[in-house]
Amino acid sequence: MLRFFPSRILRAAPRADWGKTLNLPRSSFPARPSAAQLESYREKCADGLYQWQREARQTDRPARSDNEFVLHDGPPYANGAVHAGHALNKILKDIIVRSKLGRGNRVHYRPGWDCHGLPIELKALQQNQAAQKEKGAESGESEAANMSPLKIRRKASQLASRTIDEQKKEFRSWGVMGEWDTPYKTMDRDFEIRQLGVFREMVKKGKDMLHTGRTSDSTDIDWCVRSHFPRPSSCPLVSFFSHSAG
């Protein structure tokens, strides 16, 4: 095997700063920003940029009604920590919003959270069972089975509120711009009122607009209208809206 050793001349030569031999541009821009600088850059490029374009472009083109670009957010469940799916969803939406902003549009992106549904209720029950076991209870499952629907909803609402704060912090740290200070939540009272208004319009248009939960084998689902009332129109809530619509 051949072995190469440095010559006496190279060994005797003083150690040189090879970086000075490269013809590179000189700049005072830091190679790596500090944590404080990163937060400042994120604030300017996300929250600050979004707020600026909402205010500055409001009167730029008053005659053009198509200058406004609205991205409707399909909200994530408020039932756990963020994961790769959240990142893919939010970053792709941010790319769309920023591309429209770069084309001169005034963008409107209001993020939201889905605070209802079985995933959140199951997570709330699981956390309640774990808490009971830590306290020394013999079986957390038995207490969960005896929880009233009202208590389950209260637990789910508390879980959703905590999760929204945690997820919002992560989303903003990614530099996703939007109206983070005023997001929409499906458990907000005004949102639920608007949902009831939509339901009222469905009732006005006829019973065919109401989903009765029928499956392919004609089995009723527990929560469907038909499983509790002989006809959808006999449901008290439907009757209430029907009379209101009339």
pLDDT, residue 227, reads 43
Residue with tokens 């005023």: 182
pLDDT, residue 64, reads 55
Q: How many CA atoms lie within 13 A of 2 on its CB side?
A: 1
- 221-to-63, 85, 150 alpha-carbon distances in Å: 51, 30, 21
pLDDT, residue 97, reads 96
- Which residues lie across from 107 on neighbouring strands? 69
Estimate the crossing angle of helix 236-245 against helix 189-205, to 10 degrees.
80
- According to DSSP, residue 112 is labeled E
pLDDT of the chain, 246 residues: tens digit per residue:
666 666 665 555 566 677 778 888 888 877 788 888 888 989 999 999 999 999 988 755 554 567 899 998 889 999 889 999 999 999 999 999 999 999 999 999 999 999 988 888 888 888 888 877 777 655 555 566 677 888 888 889 999 999 999 999 999 999 999 999 999 999 999 988 998 888 888 777 766 555 555 555 554 444 444 444 445 444 545 444 444 444
Dihedrals phi, psi of 90, to nearest 5 degrees? -70, -40
* Model pTM above 0.75: no
pLDDT, residue 224, reads 44
Distance (Å, rounded) from C-alpha 128 to C-alpha 99? Answer: 44
Contact 120, 160 (CB under 8 A): yes
Cβ contacts of 123 within 8 Å, gap of 6 or more: 79, 80, 156, 159
pLDDT, residue 232, reads 47
pLDDT, residue 134, reads 74
pLDDT, residue 196, reads 86
